[in-house]
Amino acid sequence: MITAPDNDNNSEGPMVFIIIGKGYESDNSDGVDLHIMLKAADDDSAVREALNALAEEGFIEADLDQIGMLTEVPEEEPHASAYQGAVDGEVAIIRFS
């Protein structure tokens, strides 16, 4: 996995992205609101890794609405532990019911 940015982002900490969207586990489902947190070199890599992780979790489709880079460590759960997982190299998927 590439961890160094391939652009002008000279962040001192890890580049942890958050992607907000909706995932669908079947053709007839209403979808599940999602926050996906992961470490990546750029936003294109983050989207690809997020989609791969969603497919591994059984999602057949996803609408990804927003992507951004976290500039501070979240303090509240479930985002705090998801952030730590992302720093450790995991793709953290938070589902909202």
Please report the pLDDT score of residue 56 as a whole number. 97
Do 64 and 28 contact (CB within 8 A), yes or no?
no
Please report the pLDDT score of residue 74 as a whole number. 96
Could you report the per-residue pLDDT of 7-37, keeping only the tens digit for each? Answer: 555 556 779 999 999 999 998 889 999 999 9
As a whole number, the mean pLDDT across the chain is 90
Taken as a whole, the chain contains a residue count of 97
Rounded average pLDDT over 43-64: 97
Q: pTM for this structure? A: 0.85
User: 62: buried, middle or exposed (CB in 10 Å: 19+, 13-18, 0-12)?
Assistant: buried
CA dihedral sign of residues 17, 18, 22, 25: positive
Instruction: Write out the DSSP string of 52-91.
Output: HHHHHTT-SEEEEEEEEE--S---STTHHHHHHHHHTT--
Percentage with pLDDT > 90 across the chain: 80
